[in-house]
Structure 1
Amino acid sequence: MQIVIFTIGTEGDVRPLVALGVGLRQAGHKVRIATDPQCADLVTHHGLEFAPLRGDFLDWMRNDRTAMSNGLSPLAIAKAARRRLKTMAASWPAQGLRATEGADLLIGNGMVFHLAAALGEYLGLPVAETQLVPTLPSRQPPLLPLPDWARSLPGPINVALGHATQMLIWHILRPAYNDVVRPALRLAPYPWRGPYTYKPRSHLRLFAYSPTLVEPPASLPSNVRVTGPWQLQESSTWAAPDDLTRFLKGGPPPVYVGFGSMVGPDGGRFTDIVLQAVRKTGKRIVLASGWGGLNGADSEPGGNIFRIDRAPHDWLFPKMALAVHHGGAGTTTAAARAGIASVVVPFFGDQPFWGSRLEKLGVAPPALDRAALTADALASAIISADCEDMRHHAAVLGQRMRAEDGIAVAISAIESLGVKSKWSV
């Protein structure tokens, strides 16, 4: 098959789809990924075809500091995302049509599943949906940032909150799709309740989260699969810099500190707090700047701090004592899969949800409030996470997660659709 995958967001929203694409290519399919040009190198480096799709989230996160400072307020972030997505969507119909050339199957991830669905409806192509997080209403707490007391509500209330979360997501997406994408493709807008009641949802729906981290709903429709996560396996091909290798061999396992693509309004202050905290613990650290950057944080020659721009999590995390991170789905999964404990400092969206899950599983202390973060609080959390009890729980959790093969499950489900290819090998 010629498969076209649509995904936008941070690198954490793109990497799992690249991993799925690599698996599909190895299974004999042609794969094109439509995503923002900032991730073009990530796509092509892994041997996949790239198509541009506007989704400049890094630019948004760098330049809309007000929105980022309110990243844990569902209503504030919804208002900002609504505007930004509608602006991005102006180019989606044309870019999407170009990306679908020769396609047999469209796969839409997260926010742009409805773009893939609209293109499939317009072109008469089959469509599959992927989600990296558990968005289905269930008896578990939903993805919404919730106060601590609301994380132990009865199951029926959680189901209701899950439906409310779906409606909030549709509220964010509605202008992009009902006002821009669907009219451009001469398709009727969705009703006010969104796509959830538009047609029977019989398309294949793949949820790429670990059923070990989050228990799936008890009964799922036959078209819904919780596959397990999709992660790029880079440890066997990545060449570590010599100075990093020397640092790792020069003492006990260090603490990883990195916040991915998260950008706060107070980067300098935040970096100072992080450095003060790790120095208070006396531990060695690997400091990853990522997209977001920890400002002014350099390696200390012969000291306890080693700075890297980035390194594959599947290579680095098994060598760490624990990980301090933002609680993104990808980093959370990588740390848990590596069998190490976490300290979570959420910035945005669903990150408190993942921090809460790790705490409940006994592999993280309570997540820390970024806005009120102090060096003492972070140092205390690091020391709490680096204890025998959490190390044991993390090792057991990691062993269970490493037995999951999410990509194989996803490929089997996709191939079971029986889509006939328009091309031959």
Structure 2
Amino acid sequence: MKVLIAAAGSHGDIAPYTGLGVRLREAGHEVALTTHGSDASLVSLIRSAGLQPRPLSADPRGHGAASLRTAAAFLKDLAPGLVRATEDDPPDLLLLSTTTAPLGVHLAEALDIPALGVPLQPTEPTGDFAPPGGGARSLGRRGNLWAGRLSRRVVGRLYREPVRALRTELGLPPLTARAVRRRGRTRGGGVAHGFSPALLARPADWRPGATVVGNWWPYVPADTRLPAELADFLASGPAPVLVGFGSMPAGRARGGEPLGSVVVRALRRAGVRGILQAGAAGLSPGEHLADGDMLAIGPVPHELLFPHVAAVVHHGGAGTTAAALRAGVPGVPVPVTADQPFWAGRLAAAGAGTPPVPFASLSWPDAVDRLAAPVERAVRDQGLRAAAGRIAGRMAEEDGAAEVLRQAESLAAARRPPIT
């Protein structure tokens, strides 16, 4: 079976699907994964996993700061890119991320193939919690459900024009807005959410076919090792605290002080050693490296590094939050946007992380104190580590990729003609 995993967004939005692709490939399927061609490291990761990269012309980094207008421009570019990703070698099955699903279901219709949703965030309205884009605060059961439905309508409006143009390009008849929403929920019928029920259990009011299967993880080649300088630093003293904000912009504190300098001062006030991971934000300790208690690093697989740190200060992205829990390490979430406040709230509610520190507060005059206090708590509070360890134990028993494989093969089998 030929499978196309259609994912789009930042590096962290796409990288986890390499591990899912490997599981499908090992089961004998031919797997391709969409990616943004400008991210050379991601293309390299996809190739090293034995998957076929399918470059997309749309790149979220080319649309400036996040807003409804820039999101609409990105989606307008994304739709024809998905078509091109299937033209030369059409798949038998589509696996669709949160971002690509509202477009991918129409592509599946045109190709007459099944599609399975594989989002990393909850996508169904529920009374249990507010939609991920609405933050962590519950609005009560009726309010949460209403907000979830409203969020779905807002997303539908954002995709309306790209969907219209896509259906025209594919030669499909036009649909009403209501029909588009229904089509998005019924093509193939299933949604396998890729997060751990240990962190967020499946709500009882979700529709049939919407499941929570557990995480899948970025592929890490078997011969990958920690860089020698990093391994030496880890071995030279107490477990450090890792600070990294992924693809989020770093910015500067009030008065023009680099954020890396604020982070270093907060770590020292908390009495801990630190590792600053640059990421897209370019986070760096600058001149503070001289004292030997801080280290600046580039990309390193979470799977290899996180088990060796005392805590992780991160932006609250779905993948980073899950990776820290997988390692049994407490988190200090510093959410910026999108679903990050939601996961930061879930982490704190699970007792495996401190209350969130708003990213914007790191530019305030008391930023050092605001960050130092939760870092110290994350390192000293054994209750946080115990909770993270319990979740890690449950996650070790889950296999989200295996469940996606089962559902994908079941969908494909249902489409095959009977043997006569």
- How high is the TM-score relative to the length of structure 2? 0.89
1:172 aligned to which of 148, 158, 165: 158
1:153 and 2:139 aligned: yes
TM superposition shift of 1:392: 1.5
Q: Distance in 1 between matches of 2:392 and 2:333?
A: 17
Cα distance, 1:344–1:250 mapped onto 2, change above 3 Å? same
Provide, for residues 66-121 of structure 1, a one-character-per-residue CA deviation record: whole Å limited to 9, x for no partner. x4xxxxxxxxx3333123322x236426523426x142112221211233222221
> What is the deviation of 1:198?
3.8
**Aligned partners of 1:286 and 1:234: how far apart in 2?**
21
Per-residue CA deviations over 1:361-410 (Å, capped at 9, x if unaligned) read 11122111212221110011101222122111111121112221111111
Cα drift, residue 244 of structure 1: 1.1
Q: Distance in 1 between matches of 2:134 and 2:197?
A: 22
The residue that corresponds to 2:109 in the other structure is 121
Q: Could you say if the C-alpha distance between residues 259 and 199 of structure 1 is closer, same or farther in structure 2, counting changes exceeding 3 Å?
A: closer
Q: Tell me the SS of whatever aligns to 1:111.
A: coil
The one-letter code sitting in structure 2 at the alignment partner of 1:42 is L
* Whole-angstrom distance in 2 between the partners of 1:344 and 1:297: 23
Whether the 8 Å contact between 2:83 and 2:107 is mirrored in structure 1 is no
- Aligned twin of 2:239: 253
C-alpha spacing 1:421/1:258, structure 2 compared with 1 (3 Å): farther
SS at match of 2:388: helix
The corresponding residue for 2:328 is 339
Distance in 2 separating the partners of 1:177 and 1:397: 39
Q: Give the equivalent residue in structure 2 for 1:134.
A: 122
SS at match of 2:186: coil
- 2:228 counterpart (242, 261, 264): 242
Equivalent in the alignment of 1:7? 7
Between the aligned partners of 1:21 and 1:176, the Cα distance in structure 2 is 27
Residue 394 of structure 2 aligns with an amino acid whose one-letter code is R
Residue 390 of structure 2 corresponds to residue 400 of structure 1: no
Aligned positions of 1:375-394 closer than 5 A: 375-386=368-379, 387-394=381-388
Report the alpha carbon displacement of residue 255 of structure 1 after superposing the two structures with TM: 0.3
Corresponding residue of 1:309: 298
The equivalent position to 1:107 in structure 2, one of 72, 80, 95, is 95
Question: Is the 1:89–1:181 Cα contact (8 Å) retained in structure 2?
Answer: no
Deviation at 1:124, TM superposition (A): 1.6
* 1:150-229 paired onto structure 2 within 5 Å: 151-178=137-164, 180-193=165-178, 195-198=180-183, 201=186, 203=188, 204-218=190-204, 220-229=206-215
For residue 79 of structure 1, the aligned residue among 69, 76, 82 is 69
Structure 2 runs not aligned, ≥5 long: none
Matched residues in 2 for 1:152 and 1:196: separation? 25
RMSD: 2.4
Taking a change above 3 Å as real, the CA distance of residues 194 and 292 of structure 1, as seen in their structure-2 partners, is farther
Q: Which amino acid aligns with 1:384?
A: R
Larger mean CA deviation between 351-360 and 122-131 belongs to 122-131
- Cα 1:46–1:282, aligned 2, differ >3 Å: closer, same or farther? same
The equivalent residue for 1:74 is none
Which digits, 9 at most, give the CA deviation of each residue in 1:232-284, with x for residues without a partner?
A: 35385312122111111111111010011112454863222212211212211
Deviations 1:141-170 (A, max 9, x none): 22345477xx24322221111111111222
Report the CA distance shift for 1:244/1:344 in structure 2 as closer, same or farther (over 3 A).
Answer: same
* Aligned length, in residue pairs: 404
Looking at structure 1, the residues matched to 217 and 349 of structure 2 have their Cα atoms a distance apart, in angstroms, of: 23
**Is residue 9–residue 55 contact of structure 1 (8 Å, CA) maintained in 2?**
no
Separation in 1 of the partners of 2:282 and 2:353? 23
In 1, the alpha carbon distance for the partners of 2:250 and 2:68 equals 17
**2:344 & 2:293 partners in 1: Cα distance?**
27
Q: Which amino acid aligns with 1:107?
A: L
* Counterpart in the other structure of 1:293: 282
Give the secondary-structure state (helix, strand or coil) at the position aligned to 1:390: helix
How is 1:41-120 mapped onto 2 (pairs within 5 angstroms)? 41-60=44-63, 64-65=64-65, 67=66, 77-86=67-76, 88-89=77-78, 91-92=80-81, 94-98=83-87, 101-120=89-108
Instruction: Give the 3-state SS of the residue equivalent to 2:99 in structure 1.
Output: helix
> TM-score scaled by structure 1?
0.88
CA distance 1:404–1:144, change in 2 (3 Å) = closer
Distance 1:322 1:194, change over 3 A: farther
TM-aligned CA distance change 1:395 to 1:379, over 3 Å: same
Looking at structure 1, the residues matched to 26 and 195 of structure 2 have their Cα atoms a distance apart, in angstroms, of: 22
Taking the aligned partners of 1:309 and 1:42, their CA distance within structure 2 comes to 15
- What residue is the counterpart of 2:270 in the other structure? 281
User: Which whole-Å deviations, capped at 9, do the CAs of 1:20-56 have from their partners, x for residues lacking one?
Assistant: 1010001111101122112322211211011112231
Instruction: For 2:306 and 2:284, locate their aligned partners in 1 and report how far apart those are by CA, in whole Å.
Output: 22
Please identify, of 238-247 and 196-205, the stretch whose mean Cα deviation from structure 2 is larger. Answer: 196-205
Relative to structure 1, the CA distance from residue 296 to residue 394 in structure 2 (aligned partners, 3 Å threshold; closer, same or farther) is: closer
3-state SS of paired residue (2:361): coil
Alignment CA distance shift 1:80-1:266 (3 Å): farther
Q: Is 1:368 the equivalent of 2:342?
A: no
Change (3 A) 1:392 1:90: closer
The letter for the 2-side match of 1:308 is: I
Flag the 1:280–1:194 CA change in 2: closer, same or farther, 3 A: farther
Deviations 1:117-138 (A, max 9, x none): 2222112222222211011111
